[in-house]
Amino acid sequence: MEKKFSLYFLHFFLSIHKALSKHSLMGEKKYVKRVINSLGMANVVMAPTFSYFSTNRSSKECRRLHSTPRKGHCIKAMTVEKPLEELYNVRVERNVSPERLVELGVSKWSMWKTGKCKLPWDWHVDQLVYIEEGEVRVVPEGSERFMQFMAGDLVRYPKWFEADLFFNGFYQERYSFRAYGDD
């Protein structure tokens, strides 16, 4: 499936590149829309994993593609990776106001401290964490990417989330385990 999708996409970009090299800049938007619609690929372009197409007349990529100097246009696809917070349903509020902390009763929560270490962790219930000091890198299980939270952040880790926590120095947090529906 993935290979088939890649071949469609390669065909799609080659068609657009070819179309743009034949038409002036003036009508290129209209022509690109026509090419996209004729290929039946409009739904792929509108997919949330792709942001936009840009045309650059003098980019290095264009010069490499064309052996003879001429006015050409390059089409570049940019993939937009969803933030890990969104993928794993980790909610974060940055630089939380003192009023919000009072509203949540953070001063009454349990406190946890550590030094520099790596800690594998899995959550069996939702946990709300306010980071008082330090920072933590959170690497979800099976991922190479990480989320980073620091002092002043309020983080809600979801039930069944698994990750490695990396602490580079002193770290202190206040935490509260949440039942379903507690907000």
Average pLDDT over residues 22-27: 48
In a domain, 122, yes or no: yes
Average pLDDT over residues 163-173: 98
The predicted structure's pLDDT at residue 69: 54
Q: What is the pTM of this model?
A: 0.57
> In whole angstroms, what is the distance from residue 31 CA to residue 100 CA?
52
Q: Detail the DSSP E strand segments found in the chain.
A: 50-56, 74-79, 91-93, 110-114, 117-122, 126-133, 135-140, 147-150, 154-157, 162-167, 171-178
Total domains, the chain: 1
In a domain, 131, yes or no: yes
In a domain, 87, yes or no: yes
Q: How far is CA 72 from CA 30, 33, 38, 69, in A?
A: 17, 18, 22, 9
More confident residue, 26 or 151: 151
Q: Is the pLDDT of residue 157 over 80?
A: yes
**Listed range (7-16, 68-77, 108-117) with the worst mean pLDDT:** 7-16
> In whole angstroms, what is the distance from residue 164 CA to residue 115 CA?
15
Q: Which range of residues forms the domain containing residue 159?
A: 83-182
Virtual torsion, Cα 53, 57, 63, 67, nearest 10 deg: 110
Please report which residue ranges of the chain form alpha helices under DSSP H. Answer: 2-22, 28-39, 42-45, 60-65, 84-87, 98-104
The segment with the largest mean pLDDT, out of 11-25, 41-55, 76-90, 130-144, is 130-144
In a domain, 173, yes or no: yes
More confident residue, 13 or 131: 131
Residue 23, phi-psi category: left (phi > 0), alpha (psi -120 to 50), beta (remainder): beta
Q: Please tell me the total number of residues recorded for the chain in this structure.
A: 183
pLDDT, tens digit (0-9, with 9 covering 90-100), for 47-86: 444 434 444 444 455 455 545 555 556 666 677 788 999 9
Structure token digits, residue 130: 């306010």
Mean pLDDT of the chain: 76
More confident residue, 31 or 81: 81
> In whole angstroms, what is the distance from residue 175 CA to residue 177 CA?
7
The CATH number of residue 92's host domain is 2.60.120.10
Closest CA to 138 of 82, 92, 79: 92
Residue 53 β-bridge partners: 77
In a domain, 100, yes or no: yes
In a domain, 138, yes or no: yes
In a domain, 53, yes or no: no
Average pLDDT over residues 79-107: 93
In a domain, 20, yes or no: no
